[in-house]
Structure 1
Amino acid sequence: MTRTTTSPSPSAPSLGDARIISTADFVFTPLAGRLTEIATPVSPAVGSTHVTLHVVRIAPGETFSPESSADEENTAVVFDGRGTATVGSRSRSVERSHAAYAPTGQALSLTAVEDVLTVYIWRTPLTPGRLPGTDPEPFSTLWDETTQLRGFGGTGQISPDADRATMNFVFWPGNGSSQLCLHCGIQQPGQTFNVHLHPDSDEAFIAFEGIGQMYLRDRWIDVAAGDVLYAAPGVLHGARNPHTGPDARRFVTCGGPSPYDPALYSAAGLSSDVR
């Protein structure tokens, strides 16, 4: 299978409507006067519609906060290292697989301790007319199985696979996320999260653990942990673990459409009303 990668630098061509960005193509820039460095593989500056995705390597003892915006939501997932996440006035120790959600009006900050803290951060402005949740959950992990989507068959454009992956709803309207939600796909060996599209939403998600494949537009593409997928509204995408046998391991992805797509919650038999 051909591996598709492209440069995410600001001088690169527009993301257009679909792209997979390999970790090898991330362009990191040090923050002024600091050891912390940041790459931005997805943003409106390079063609996305709604969402910005940063990859931040926070140096030990340093703190990173996205630029504040009165109408923006932020979600962070720890990819490596240990540290502290603060949302508004609440703080929690975090490590790999931990996640934080900062709703509109609450600042997000992340501090590294002994080692570099590598964090993926999704950002999006709140759609006009959409209100923040009344009591949003600020902290969780990718392994939170409280609310799940099982047996998803896709949206009909591609014949679905029968062995279907499970998706954890980590941050979603049911626990107070009003637009920028976070889902975690658990593709066990041989399983697929079936190909689908979001008519009105960007999709930005990452390969968090293992090796597998992401579907983009019209083909399956090999990916590894840390790689990023971007799909504009209407672009087909999905994830699968084609590996089987005694040495096969699970393939984990995380991210989500922005604004959230009510169809995913309807498929799980859930309301998309914001709590």
Structure 2
Amino acid sequence: MPPSTPSAPAPASASAPSPTTALGDARIITAAEFEFRPVVGARTTVATPVSPAAGATHVTLHVVRIAAGESYTPDDSAAEENTVVVFSGTGTAAVGELTSPVERGSAAYAPTGRALTLTADGRGLTAYVWRTPLANAPVGSEPVLHSSLWDDTTQLRGFGGTGQVDAAERRATMNFVFWPGNGSSRLCLHCGIQQPGETFNVHLHPDSDEAFIAFEGVGQMYLRDRWIDVNAGDVLYAAPGVLHGARNPHTGPTARRFVTCGGPSPFDPALYSAAGYSSQVR
């Protein structure tokens, strides 16, 4: 599926907390709330809407605006697992010594021990970067390092949720981009594609943080006990045990797909079991 132009961030939903509210056990952070800080000696800026310092359990999520011609490497990037999704712009992503051109929808996985470097070309580049410590997780033998949200090689279809909320009949499809089956040790990256009227049903992860973003279009994210309107660029954080999901309530001739991406950290074996796959790291 080809990428499309990202929507402009919209004002915060009436049900979303203020920017000063700590994450606690769950929060939606709109793109309008991101607080960017400059990288020393550069024009590149970074926001960190999700992190242990803000109340997350396992995961950090950076939003990086890399200025044209500049490069960005997360602090201690080789000491943690990193996954990346390019939100806009073009450039390159280097994982250790392996470099690949990137554009909107491109993804990269940097296992522990391999540094991540993103470089923007003349248009600049905006990327979302997920990070977590390895924490003695098994290491993939030949992990996939470069991919795309549109890689539909391995998918979860017909997911009915975990039963706390009635399941919708029209069910979205999820692409497994980085997951144990292609070498991801602890982080994962999934892409939910909610066509008009479809839902990725409400669920929870008993032992995992969830941090995912609205990547394309407009739709709704479920958090705790309600559906909340979101726009491209917005972020959802849910601590272990907190209900969440995504849906595209729009139908009709002008409705377009609503795409989300991210995943639980550490990965949740239940999702792969639901799709009929092993969660053994390969």
TM-score by length of 2: 0.94
Residues 203-222 of structure 1 correspond to what in structure 2 (within 5 A)?
A: 203-222=210-229
CA contact (8 A) 1:197 1:233 kept: yes
Residues 1-275 of structure 1 correspond to what in structure 2 (within 5 A)?
A: 3-8=14-19, 12-68=20-76, 71-128=79-136, 130-275=137-282
Tell me the distance in 2 between the aligned counterparts of 1:6 and 1:94. 34
Tell me how far 1:2 sits from its aligned partner. Answer: 5.1
Query: Structure 1 stretch 64-73 or stretch 97-106: which is displaced more?
Result: 64-73
Tell me how far 1:70 sits from its aligned partner. Answer: 5.2
Tell me the distance in 2 between the aligned counterparts of 1:5 and 1:244. 25
Tell me how far 1:3 sits from its aligned partner. Answer: 3.8
Tell me the distance in 2 between the aligned counterparts of 1:26 and 1:166. 29
Tell me the distance in 2 between the aligned counterparts of 1:71 and 1:157. 37
Tell me the distance in 2 between the aligned counterparts of 1:7 and 1:43. 17
User: What is the SS of the residue equivalent to 1:116?
Assistant: strand
Tell me how far 1:7 sits from its aligned partner. Answer: 5.0
Q: CA-to-partner distance for each residue in 1:10-42, whole Å, 9 max, x for gaps?
A: xx3421100000000000011112100000000
> How many equivalent pairs are there?
271
* Distance change in 2, residues 1:214/1:3 (3 Å): farther
Question: Gaps (5+ residues) in structure 2?
Answer: 1-11
Tell me the distance in 2 between the aligned counterparts of 1:2 and 1:71. 36
Amino acid at match of 2:141: T
CA contact (8 A) 1:97 1:143 kept: yes
Q: CA-to-partner distance for each residue in 1:139-198, whole Å, 9 max, x for gaps?
A: 000000000000000001111000000000000000000110000000000000000000
Question: Gaps (5+ residues) in structure 1?
Answer: none
Tell me the distance in 2 between the aligned counterparts of 1:33 and 1:213. 39
User: What is the SS of the residue equivalent to 2:229?
Assistant: strand
Tell me the distance in 2 between the aligned counterparts of 1:77 and 1:255. 9
User: What is the SS of the residue equivalent to 1:263?
Assistant: helix
CA contact (8 A) 2:95 2:114 kept: yes
CA RMSD of aligned residues (A): 1.2
Q: CA-to-partner distance for each residue in 1:200-258, whole Å, 9 max, x for gaps?
A: 00000000000000000000000000000000000000000000000000000000000
Tell me the distance in 2 between the aligned counterparts of 1:90 and 1:71. 18
CA contact (8 A) 1:83 1:111 kept: yes
CA contact (8 A) 1:207 1:226 kept: yes
CA contact (8 A) 1:148 1:268 kept: yes
TM-score by length of 1: 0.96
Tell me the distance in 2 between the aligned counterparts of 1:270 and 1:235. 24
* Distance change in 2, residues 1:31/1:6 (3 Å): farther
User: What is the SS of the residue equivalent to 1:126?
Assistant: coil
Amino acid at match of 1:267: A
Amino acid at match of 2:268: D
CA contact (8 A) 1:218 1:236 kept: yes
List, as ranges, runs of 4+ consecutive aligned residues in structure 1 with deviation greater than 6 Å. none
Tell me the distance in 2 between the aligned counterparts of 1:71 and 1:35. 25
